[in-house]
Structure 1
Amino acid sequence: MTTMDIVEQFEENCCVMCYTTAGQLWNIIAPREFVDFSYTTQYQEGLLSCGVSLNYGETRPNFVRGHNHPCGWFCVPLPDNLDHSLLTGYIQTDLRGRLPQSAVDTAMASTLANFYSDLRKALKV
């Protein structure tokens, strides 16, 4: 993910967000943008965030509009170590466009690995 912007805020925990990704595999996979409705709330001393893509606004030039089917992230503190949490994500992404499945699988695997690695670095104290 290269950018994440709130496009419209409804309440503190409810908004429309736009995410972009960089091109992958020497731009065989063009940059994507996703516009999602997102809702985040407290859940068992942790957080639950869920979302789904919307048909919202125009697709920016040089991007392909991807689509996220209903998805969610759970972040719950570990009972035996409250300084650490378990992050579980359920995603169903359709990158759209004409892509060989092998290219999609390779790009998604590296993108998710980079996402978790960057998240871990960002959360280190």
Structure 2
Amino acid sequence: MQAALPDAESLSADLETTLLLYHSIEDSEWRIAKQTSDVTVWRKPSEIFSGYLYKAQGVVDGITNRIVDYIRPGPYRLEWDSLMTTMDIVQEFEQGCCMMRYTTAGQLWNIIAPREFVDFSYTTPHEDGLLSCGVSVEYGEVQPNCVRGFNHPCGWFCLPLKSNPDQSLLTGYIQTDLRGMLPRSAVDSAMASSLANFFTDLRKALKTKLNSSFQP
């Protein structure tokens, strides 16, 4: 029997409340998991499952609307996200909501096999920018040769820099249960690295798009 579609209105309200709570967590509660010259990834024990809640932050060239268009479900995401291999919009709702099914590539020499997710996604204004958030829902049959992962409430805050409106501060909160029989050390390494790579891939895609727009 097919699972019922989620209640978009109540789910989006709960998601926004949860992400605002994460965004207010004191700096002292986070521990650095990975740091590069332009991205910092922190983590803290999740209060929802046995893994970690990750926080990733960096400055990205571009206005908030353009950046979020590359992050939320849509035609751009598959073009640049090296981890995502397929994406389909299962259902569209009103007020910036949709439900999508997507798969991710294997990681760490395929120690972590490809994963499938079905997520409810919601994008809404926040301060002078945008919040794009999501959570997994139990819906549909799992595809062959995939493990069904589960994203607990997660999302991205994208706010314009006051010092430079052509740049944005992008802050993400991710807590993914990859499920399956996986060593905790492998999961932790993969999560921190994939979040840093997310920023690298996103910046490249935005720069390529900007350069192409100036071509005669």
State TM-score, norm by structure 1.
0.92
* Percentage of identical aligned residues: 76
Aligned to 1:23: 106
Q: Determine helix, strand or coil for the equivalent of 1:117.
A: helix
Q: Determine helix, strand or coil for the equivalent of 1:49.
A: strand
Aligned residue identity for 1:25: L
Displacement of 1:5 after TM fit?
A: 2.7
Structure 1 runs (4+) greater than 2 angstroms displaced: none
Match of 2:170 among 77, 81, 87: 87
Which segment drifts farther, 48-57 or 108-117? 108-117
Aligned residues: 125
State TM-score, norm by structure 2.
0.55
Separation of aligned partners in 2, 1:67 and 1:12: 24
Q: Determine helix, strand or coil for the equivalent of 1:118.
A: helix
Separation of aligned partners in 2, 1:18 and 1:117: 24
Q: CA RMSD in A?
A: 1.3
Aligned to 1:120: 203
Separation of aligned partners in 2, 1:28 and 1:79: 43
Aligned to 2:158: 75
Establish whether residue 111 from structure 1 lines up as the match of residue 194 from structure 2: yes
Aligned residue identity for 2:115: R
Runs of 5+ consecutive residues of structure 2 not aligned to the other structure: 1-82, 211-216
Aligned to 2:122: 39
**Which of 1 and 2 has higher RCO (CA within 8 Å, sep 6+)?**
2
Separation of aligned partners in 2, 1:119 and 1:6: 21
Separation of aligned partners in 1, 2:204 and 2:162: 23
Separation of aligned partners in 2, 1:44 and 1:14: 19
Which segment drifts farther, 1-10 or 43-52? 1-10
Displacement of 1:80 after TM fit?
A: 1.2
Displacement of 1:81 after TM fit?
A: 0.5
Aligned to 2:132: 49
Q: Determine helix, strand or coil for the equivalent of 1:99.
A: coil
Aligned residue identity for 2:122: Y
Separation of aligned partners in 2, 1:4 and 1:116: 19
Which segment drifts farther, 4-13 or 44-53? 4-13
Q: Determine helix, strand or coil for the equivalent of 2:187.
A: helix
Displacement of 1:12 after TM fit?
A: 5.4
